[in-house]
Structure 1
């Protein structure tokens, strides 16, 4: 078993075995002499390859459990493949695609679970900081090393607090690690990886510079999100009609609810939502979402839990005021208060606010200044690490949120 684990720990060998299994199972169950079966085999291998490439890229954040992402990523890649089949009118075999999906799913789960221990990031640390200050995580293992230092002590990387005092011997050892292509992590970088947030109490100049996002990706992100919204309209419009009728039948008042929020660069805009509360009570323009539960209708509770009430914000995205993914926009009265109470709060306005975001999927809604300070740390992490793969990670986290209702208020 140990030798098998060693073999599977090599990503190329593991990938090759997966391709061989797909070919063998389909060859046994279906005759490859048919064009439809052969095409379906190639499609399955392409989907498998895409999933193998995507999985490690979206699961590197917060050191998440890769096995939790296998099914949603595989379903997504198969959905894209089916759309391509329909658009390009490719001849295919449904049973072959089904068999292929089953083989790929089982193999990915088996290889991932078998390599769970080898997937742990094993690091050594120079003892110029307290390891107890780092949160524990099942996907990372850090052990302290002491002088005399040797390169063979390092397994996958070295952790050190680069801002604390170092002895000449420690400085030389860090330099030797770098020269020998051994990764050297600043302890705060490890903290970010584990906690998924950037502490905002002692932001350095370099950390603030890291918050400058890539303008090219911002443009690509806008194009992708606008395309997704337009493509989803045929499905969303009937849903909006049904929910709108239900809202009107349950309680008097408008279908939509609008409110001023603060967006990118501190600009105020009007956000759109489906109404989820009764309108007979005084307006709650300066209340946290957690303080409004008494006003929520039965339909409102459902559309909040499933995030259906956020769908009208797609119009905000198309207008360029919001993004699908980003820090949630806050009310102006709260922003003014938080800017006085929380250091660097304004930095969350460096990017467009989103319908969903890293903080919402990791932390949920905030109810006071302390939880908002925690939320800011998550927002700064998102801004610092903004990328396509982090957005994809948040997309899958949001699906989980919609199903479980985590963070819904």
Structure 2
């Protein structure tokens, strides 16, 4: 019975059907937003537009409609991989990028465009996204029946849902949108209950998989119980990701090279020693490679052996504190990306001594080496730096989540969160 129901948990992970909104209501909302965008944009740009205005601006209008559609689709897809912690900042950044792309395209095409129409359309889109999400969280929270012990309290605190505790295999008098349970149970009463729910159209989700999606981490205890899922990324995704890595490095070089030059000068004036810190790290497949970064510590920092960097580490130089907080010290790793040793996004590569120690003491630690290490990653933007083995164990669960669910949409969320970390300095050491 558990095998026949296992797919319901998978559908939760892929489509996140935790919603009480009818499909027609969601479609109507986004169509109304598109109409409002066009009406307000036209009003600000032309007042009451004439037929000539509309004909002249047909590429502008079409581009804005396309940007609106891309923004809605992209934010909805990113929300599915970042349930519970999706931030309006993601929607605003996506809107700016989409409409900025339209502006650049029209500019280089040397065709007609209106700055006031573009700006108004972008603002309406961003505001409509924020309002729609606020209304969804206030009025359309799903009701989930949770079997005892099937979903940790920490996961329930993350999700925007209402929960009903289920102590007996019955939904008598209770209307719910889904059941979160133990699909591997041997109790025939609960097995019959799960089957009855499926027949009645009430989806049954596997508790550990739901917890995994809500918290963004793969429980080591769940893996230890024998639930070893495939962590191998799709080869097409890996090819696309490699192309995106090269594009990001090359496209950002006009901005990063001046920062690299200024940082090099600052390091030389701040403390004696080399510009770069090169250290052997463990990459994909457990292979060693020389990782390069700007030196942010004294030259004798590792004299007593490798150790974690603390929040107030006296080995860090004055310039080092700044470049670590803003992640500028990681910019030289673009060279590792060009060589194919690293990716822009992935688990952070660890020192050889740490890896050998963690593989001996933390189960499944080697699974994080199934994907290329990255300059930034899911664990970095979600958990931050660690300075102990216990925190490393927690961080590993986030790394395993990325190794298991890595996708273009999750990568986009990580990129946007990384920019937020650079701006705020949150999580950096």
Single out whichever of 282-291 and 258-267 deviates more from structure 2: 282-291
Give the structure 1 partner of residue 126 of structure 2: 105
Cα–Cα, structure 1 residues 130 and 77, in superposed 2: closer, same or farther, change >3 Å? Answer: closer
**Pairwise CA distance, 1:208:** 2.5
CA 58–133 in structure 1, closer or farther in 2 if over 3 Å, else same: closer
Select which of 27, 42, 64 maps to 1:44. 64
In structure 1, which of residues 291, 308, 320 is the aligned counterpart of residue 340 of structure 2?
320
2:141 aligned with 1:141: no
Cα distance per residue 1:181-234 (max 9 Å; x no partner): 533211111211232111113415874232122121111111111111111111
1:254–1:86 Cα change, 3 Å: farther
- What residue in structure 1 maps to residue 95 of structure 2? 74
Compute the displacement of 1:150 (Å). Answer: 5.0
More moved, 323-332 vs 227-236: 227-236
Cα distance, 1:318 vs structure 2: 1.2
| 2:355 is equivalent to residue 335 of structure 1 | yes
- 1:327 deviation in Å? 0.6
- The answer as to whether partners of 1:284 and 1:292 remain within 8 angstroms in 2 is no
CA shift at 1:245, angstroms? 1.4
Q: Distance in 1 between matches of 2:301 and 2:193?
A: 66
Q: State the Cα distance separating 1:396 from its structure 2 match.
A: 1.3
- Equivalence map 1:296-307=2 (5 Å): 296-307=316-327
Gap change, CA 1:361 and 1:224, over 3 Å in 2:
same
Match of 2:275 in 1: 255
Q: Does the 8 A contact of 2:181 with 2:204 survive in 1?
A: yes
Higher RCO structure, 1 or 2 (CA under 8 Å, sep 6+): 2
The 3 A distance-change label for structure 1 pair 322 and 285 is farther
CA deviation string 1:156-199 (max 9, x = no partner): 2211112234333x322322333455332111112112321111
Judge which range, 11-20 or 91-100, deviates more. 91-100
Cα deviation, 1:231-286, whole Å, max 9, x if unaligned, reads 11112112211111121122222221111100011000011111212325554661
| Corresponding residue for residue 30 of structure 1 | 45
Tell me the residue number matched to 1:15.
Answer: 30
Name the stretch that deviates more: 12-21 or 61-70. 61-70
Distance change in 2, residues 1:207/1:326 (3 Å): farther
Q: Distance in 2 between matches of 1:398 and 1:273?
A: 18
- CA gap 1:210/1:238 in 2 versus in 1, 3 angstroms: same
Deviation string 1:37-67 (CA, Å, 9 cap, x unpaired) is 4433322222111111011111222422453
Provide the residue aligned with 2:419 in structure 1: 399
- Find the counterpart in structure 2 of residue 360 from structure 1: 380
Report the aligned-residue RMSD. Answer: 2.6
2:197 counterpart residue number: 177
Residue-by-residue CA offset, 1:322-356 (whole Å, 9 max, x unaligned): 11111100000010011111111111111101111
Aligned mates of 1:282, 1:129 — CA distance in 2: 45
| CA positional deviation for 1:117 | 2.1
CA distance in 1, matches of 2:420, 2:197: 40
2:169 touches 2:193 (CA, 8 Å); kept in 1? no
Q: 5+ unaligned residues in a row in structure 1: which ranges?
A: none
Q: How many aligned residue pairs are there?
A: 404
SS in 1 for 2:223: coil
Q: Paired residue for 1:223, among 243, 246, 262?
A: 243
Match of 1:208 in 2: 228
Q: Aligned partners of 1:357 and 1:39: how far apart in 2? A: 38
Residue 59 of structure 1 aligns to a residue whose secondary structure is helix
On the 8 A contact 2:281/2:352 being kept in 1, the answer is: yes
Instruction: Give unpaired runs (5+ residues) of structure 2.
Output: 1-19
Match of 1:380 in 2: 400
**Aligned twin of 2:188:** 167
1:215/1:285 CA distance change after superposition, 3 Å: farther
